[in-house]
Amino acid sequence: MDLKQKLEHHKKEREVRKRGVSVEDAWRRLDKDDSLSVKNKLEKLISLTGAAKIAKAKTVQPPAWEPQPREPLQYFENRYALDVRYGRHKIGDGLAVDGETLYYLSRNEEFQGLDLGSALFFDLETTGLAGGTGTIPFLVGMGYYRDDHFVVAQYFLGDPGEEERMLAELTAFFKEGNFRSIVTYNGKAFDVPLLETRFILQRQKYVLNEWPHLDFLFSARSLWKHKYESCRLFHLAREVVAADRSEDIPGAEIPQRYFDYLRTGDFGLIEPILYHNQEDILSLLGLVVAGAKLFKSEGATNEDEEGPTAMDLVGVGRIFETAGEMDRSVAIFERALSGILPVGIEVALKEKISFHFKRAKNYDKAVPLWTDLSEKEWSVLNEREIKGILAGLRQLAIHHERHTRDLVEAVRLSEEGLALAERVPGKLKDDFRGRLKRLNAKILKLKT
């Protein structure tokens, strides 16, 4: 690049900064131009926004004036022996996860009779723009068991113009792999439909939506949302699997790194993304194994593993609850209540299972739970927890009015409930007022 070209380059950079053009804004304008191919749109996008973004990214090396050559499409593969440990679990532990467990974790009957030996773990890295046809998956990461190993395979799209070729190779990969199911983390909402869009645009057959799909995000929320502050894959991999991984690269930085790579050809920008993608696939495998072990045995499977905590049992109970197996779920919740739980979870569980026993007319079990709720020290509880106490007081008042016919006790409980209901918003105070009016009228009638 001669001096004149360099000056023109600096002039364009100043103009971009002055206009404050963002990648997203520029793409929205370019994406409306149907006369341009996706490749041409990306080239224009890079010319408009690349220099400004590089100036802001302190951790990215300044680009050379002459772009380095790029490989249009690359394939990477890493193989892990079954006895290699990833956090708390061995890589091969996934082969012990059976179809019944996968059915409960996925809520999908098609998993009956399957196992993880024929599953494809799947994760995309994309340009992360506004969505729709403008979002391009530039890295397709896949994990699967093969020949006594767990293989992590990655297709990297170094040239957007080679997308059709990449999709054709993926089609062959899916077919030759004889996979029977897919495992993702939030893949139902993002990865699978996004890739389907790319296949449709390239007029190629798409098979991933024909396989049973375990989106483990939903199971992870049931198992651990009450226990950990975040259900992000990275966070749970560290907390649940004890994976030794750091926050290698912020997800928000990945699209810009790809655009910078297209402009500069500097593969050093991409290497952290490859590592991040591989770790996500291994973390997903580790999480599925951890969830399956916890669910299947409701505790330890090996001598060196601890049994389930009360918080673990809450998660297992929620899996059965989601599957509609309330008797089994309630039995596990009762076990959880015999352990140590945060007050909020204890109150919520007692309220939940007491109503299950009430529907079954099993008052011998329901009444003690309502009594426990009514006797909680409310001054240290939050609004939701206080409403659990009010539910106990209300149900006890109903029980004594309708079943024991102890109207005096029903009045006492209603008065206590009314006093407490005044402290929280909602209509429960009106319920207790109406109940007291009716109970006092009944008592007066009995006296006359």
Is the pLDDT score of 57 beyond 50? no
Q: pLDDT at position 301, please?
A: 38
Fold assignment, 73-297: Nucleotidyltransferase; domain 5 (3.30.420)
CA distance 259 to 264: 9
Is the pLDDT score of 64 beyond 60? no
- Angle, alpha carbons 306-310-311 (nearest 5°): 95
Is the pLDDT score of 44 beyond 70? no
Is the pLDDT score of 222 beyond 70? yes
Is the pLDDT score of 299 beyond 50? no
Per the CB < 8 A criterion, the answer to whether 438 and 407 are in contact is no
Q: pLDDT at position 229, please?
A: 92
210-215: average pLDDT:
97
Strand-pair partners of 92: none
253-261: average pLDDT:
93
295-320: average pLDDT:
74
CA distance 96 to 92: 8
Write the CA distances from 384 to 39, 193, 229, 343, 413, integer angstroms. Answer: 53, 37, 18, 11, 19
Q: pLDDT at position 445, please?
A: 87
Among 19-23, 216-220, 389-393, 422-426, whose mean pLDDT is lowest?
19-23
Closest CA to 336 of 314, 318, 355: 314
Sequence-separated contacts (24+) of 312-317 with Cβ below 8 Å: 312/227, 313/339, 314/226, 314/227, 314/341, 314/345, 314/349, 315/222, 315/223, 315/224, 315/226, 315/227, 316/223
Q: Could you read off the pLDDT of 408-432 as tens digits, one per residue? A: 999 999 999 999 999 898 888 999 9
Q: What is the pTM of this model?
A: 0.81
Among 23-32, 292-301, 417-426, whose mean pLDDT is lowest?
23-32
Q: pLDDT at position 105, please?
A: 96
- Angle, alpha carbons 380-382-385 (nearest 5°): 100
Q: Could you read off the pLDDT of 75-93 as tens digits, one per residue? A: 999 999 999 999 999 999 9
Among 43-47, 177-181, 328-332, 346-350, whose mean pLDDT is lowest?
43-47
Instruction: Please give the residue that has the higher pLDDT: either 247 or 183.
Output: 183
Is the pLDDT score of 132 beyond 80? no
For tokens 């799947």, name the residue.
Answer: 122
Ordered by start, the domain boundaries in the chain are 3-56, 73-297, 342-447
Percent of the chain with pLDDT over 90: 72
Is the pLDDT score of 173 beyond 50? yes
397-416: average pLDDT:
95
Provide the pLDDT confidence category of residue 377 given band limits of 50, 70 and 90.
Answer: confident
Q: pLDDT at position 129, please?
A: 54
73-297 and 342-447 share one fold: no
Fold assignment, 342-447: 1.25.40
- Strand 119-126 relative to strand 181-184, pairing: parallel
Q: pLDDT at position 41, please?
A: 62
Q: pLDDT at position 134, please?
A: 77
Quick one: CA dihedral 201, 29, 260, 43, positive or negative? Answer: positive
CA distance 397 to 414: 6
Strand-pair partners of 73: 157
Instruction: Please give the residue that has the higher pLDDT: either 54 or 4.
Output: 4
Write the CA distances from 332 to 42, 250, 325, 348, 369, integer angstroms. Answer: 54, 38, 11, 14, 15
